[in-house]
Amino acid sequence: MTPNIFPDKTGAWGKVKSIQLPGPVVKGKISLEEAIKKRRSRRRFEDKPLNLKQVSQVLWAAQGITKEGGFKRAAPSAGALYPLEIYLVVKKVEGLEPGVYHYNPAHHTIVLTLKGDYQNSLARACLDQMFIANAPLCIVITAEYERTTIKYGERGIRYVHMEAGHVGQNICLETVALGLGTVPVGAFRDDKISKMLNLPTECKPLYVFPIGYAK
């Protein structure tokens, strides 16, 4: 594991250790067309843990680097400015302790930023949609708008939201390909999620995806 720089629970910056994820698979067992056909919103999850390979694959589909030696990611971004930051809320994943993690696309690593089971608190913040608390993993898409608006002005806000949609669809289709289920959640209290996940001030939550084996 290699050192990375990230704010701790108090907001202070310091060195923490990153966790290298397994390399992504680039040829799946089902076609894109089949994944599109099978995609459904799933809100009931089995009490069964995920593994690091599954987590790695979903994160790669969301924001992973798709060209060796380059920086282009799995979802298009206006001006290649990449304003999105991906966080994981882990409840039951083999090889990971419960907590909140931040994804680093450049190195395909994650960093533990908060320890503990936050799934129930996340469900409460999502207007008491308690099925979220049963998911072994949740992905939270956040955005730093200024990365895009500094170039495109107010219209950049629209571009950021479009990009979040691209990433969200990738997550939905990848979960189908892995035999898992998810549902896009946009109903939540922004301030509560920001506080609970200890997000940097500039990062605003946009989307929540509970992921697990669908019942």
CATH assignment of the domain containing 73: 3.40.109.10
Q: How much is the pTM?
A: 0.91
5 in a structural domain = no
6 in a structural domain = no
- Sorting pLDDT into bands at 50, 70 and 90, what band is 70? confident
53 in a structural domain = no
Does the pLDDT of residue 11 top 70, yes or no?
no
Task: Count, in order, helices (H) and strands (E) of the chain.
Answer: 6, 8
Into how many domains does the chain fold? Answer: 1
pLDDT value for 172: 98
129 in a structural domain = yes
- Give the mean pLDDT of 175-204: 97
CB-CB neighbours of 79 under 10 Å: 13
What are the C-alpha distances in Å from 103 to residues 107, 111, 124, 204, 210? 9, 7, 23, 16, 16
Structural domain for 98, as ranges: 67-215
Residues 197 and 85 sit within 8 Å (Cβ to Cβ): no
Amino acid at 208: V
168 in a structural domain = yes
51 in a structural domain = no
26 in a structural domain = no
46 in a structural domain = no
Please, what sign has the CA dihedral across residues 205, 174, 136, 60? negative
